Amino acid sequence: MNPAGLYIHIPFCRSKCAYCSFTSYPCAGHDLDGYLAALTQQATQMATHPCVRERTFASLFIGGGTPTVYDGNQLADLLKTCRSLFRFANVSEISIEANPNTLTFQKTSALRQPAPYYESGGI
């Protein structure tokens, strides 16, 4: 079975650009924590499906929206959740869409966490 790519959508931005046709909403007035909790719940359910359980993922892309509206700990937890639920190839590409004005040293440091599972060939 060919490796697949895993896409996670974060539909929030600091504000909604007039020209944007992506599924995105301004952070204000939306439950960002609730969305992350629901996302984790849905990913946990999907990971048990045979079509997903038997897959090896070659890439993970967290897009949006602006995923970096979340803080570093939340983003690191999201990565950890994905790593614990899904099997990744030894050499995997992990990318996140970012708006430069939402990036901080704390966020980029949190995202640059070690991934020992790569060396063991997945979970």
Residues that bind ligand SF4 (CB under 6 A): 13, 16-17, 20, 22, 24, 64-66, 99
Nearest partner of 67 among 37, 107, 29, judged by Cα: 107
CB of 12 to ligand SF4, least distance (A): 8
Task: Report the residue number, 20 or 38, with the smaller CB distance to ligand SF4.
Answer: 20
CB of 21 to ligand SF4, least distance (A): 8
Which residues are CB-contacts of 115 (< 8 A; sequence separation ≥ 6)? 83
Task: Report the residue number, 22 or 117, with the smaller CB distance to ligand SF4.
Answer: 22
Task: Report the residue number, 40 or 99, with the smaller CB distance to ligand SF4.
Answer: 99
- DSSP class of residue 67 equals G
CB of 45 to ligand SF4, least distance (A): 26
Distance between CA atoms of residues 9 and 81, nearest Å = 15
β-strand pairing of 12-13 with 88-96:
unpaired
CB of 87 to ligand SF4, least distance (A): 30
Distance between CA atoms of residues 105 and 109, nearest Å = 6
